[in-house]
A = this chain, B = another copy of it.
């Protein structure tokens, strides 16, 4: 259009890069930022983004979000059962499971699910690192908690096949989870039931 100040156009473009934010929502966010948010609050947002870029790194063991190369808050807890690894797609899934209070093991965050159509293969996920963790020993059970959509199921099937040669029990969350849905959006009781009813994969 050429009617907007350049920083607002640029801000809308930056917002539109985020998942689930269409061009209209991105523009709305940029307008809101430009016309309603006091400069001091905007500077606070910019600082939060810069701090995230500078200090947040994946946990070197489980790939959950952590600080500057250190172990994440879950891996650091001495009381967790290190014989159990729950495999999820995204950091938000860890929070969804922690909210239930049902699981006391460790996690493994793949980063995404397999999606051949989008060009996401096993090497784009932290699959090998999971196999290495299991091969290193001391793990009794791997719980596959990928989403119950097509990509999540394909990812679970792939991991099950890769884990078969190793001395570990592999389970899959029970179908208490709504089919086609994403784990991070399920309510706590549904996630809890899916945990207690998990079955041999």
Contacts and interface: CB of A to CB of B under 8 A. Distances in A.
Nearest to A51: B7
A3 B95 contact: yes
- A interface, by DSSP: helix, strand, loop or mixed? helix
Interface in A1-60: 1-8, 10-11, 14-15, 17-21, 24-25, 27-37, 39-56, 58
A47 B175 CA distance: 45
Interface residues of A, number: 66
Contact of A98 (B3, B32, B40): B3
Contact of A7 (B55, B64, B72, B185): B55
A25 B55 CA distance: 22
Nearest to A111: B35
Contacts of A190: none
B53 A39 contact: yes
Contacts of A72: 3
A135 interface: no
Contact of A4 (B40, B51, B73): B73
A45 B72 CA distance: 26
Given A19-B32, A35-B90, A49 B49 contact: yes
Given A39-B53, A95-B1, A18 B7 contact: no
17 contacts: A1-B95, A3-B73, A3-B74, A4-B73, A5-B65, A7-B56, A8-B65, A10-B51, A18-B33, A20-B25, A31-B92, A33-B49, A34-B52, A35-B90, A36-B111, A39-B53, A40-B53
Interface of A: 1-8, 10-11, 14-15, 17-21, 24-25, 27-37, 39-56, 58, 64-67, 72-74, 90-92, 94-95, 98-99, 111, 184-185
